[in-house]
Amino acid sequence: MKNIVSLLNEFKKIGLTSFDGVTRCVYDENWLAAQKKYMQIASDYGLYTFVDDIGNVYATTEKNLGQKAFILSGSHMDTVINGGPLDGVYGTLASLISIGTLMKKFGHPKIPLVAVSFSEEEGSRFNTAFTGSRYLMNKLEDTVYGLRDHEGLSFNHARQNAVTQLKELASELKVTGLIHAFIELHIEQGPILEKKRQDIGIVTDIVGQKKLLIKCYGVANHAGTTPMNMRCDAMKKAVTLIHQLYAVFDEFVALRYTIGQIRVQPNAANVIPSEVDFSLDLRHKS
């Protein structure tokens, strides 16, 4: 069997971009190819493969889980646009290889072991995130199915097309048992462990998150003929507000906040902006 490094290199090619990143948005062709490859590796280990109605793929040590409690391990198969080659897939492959190796060496465990490749976490195609795990926990709202991507394709249409193809290769699974425990291996997406020269860490907090879109209004006018004291400039309002937000939020040590996206209308160099939208991402462990 191949080791995880060689497999990671193979999965990096599925959705490889010209910037040496990876793009696998939920239900697209690259995502589908990666989930199918995951299923093939599971079969090579002698594990049983299943898929549910949202596109989560499972590899289990039991042909029939039934009402049994089981230990679940895995991560997500989708990526952000031009994402890193380890985010998500490192955890999906690590759990799969670990469970497959244990199965080959020791046979069926007393408590069933289940590897999962969640369909989606990132929210990079539709304006929602964690749809795979939310579906598993019966927390997915019906409104998600009507969401549309930037091309106008609905979440439900894309889901049906992709899941139908997966179900041609694996049995359908409706999870009815109790998840006894869940464990996930993931890269650290920050600098803390590296700066401390530590190889591994254990998660101690799961942050809450709020995403806001803030809109500032102005009046579009000619950049050369409108006096400064007669302008209503949306950009000036936005810059002032952003400066104030940075000053206020710096007082909260444990807060992570990011203003990472700005849109300007009409977005012309010689026109006073009439609207400025900017994003605000807030995360805190309390």
pLDDT of residue 67: 84
Strand-pair partners of 284: 208
Are the C-beta atoms of 96 and 137 separated by less than 8 Å?
no
Question: Would you tell me how many other CB atoms lie within 10 Å of the CB of residue 286?
Answer: 7
Query: Closest Cα partner for 16 from 89, 76, 95?
Result: 89
Q: What is the mean pLDDT of each run of 10 residues along the chain (286 residues)?
A: 92 96 97 98 94 96 88 97 95 97 93 96 92 95 95 96 95 83 93 94 90 96 97 98 97 94 97 97 94
CA–CA–CA angle 99, 105, 58 (5° rounding): 20
pLDDT of residue 175: 78
pLDDT of residue 192: 92
Helix axes 29-44, 155-167, angle to 10 degrees: 30
CA distance 66 to 87: 31
pLDDT of residue 278: 97
Q: Is the dihedral of CA 191, 192, 194, 200 positive or negative?
A: negative
pLDDT of residue 77: 97
pLDDT of residue 44: 94
pTM of the model: 0.83
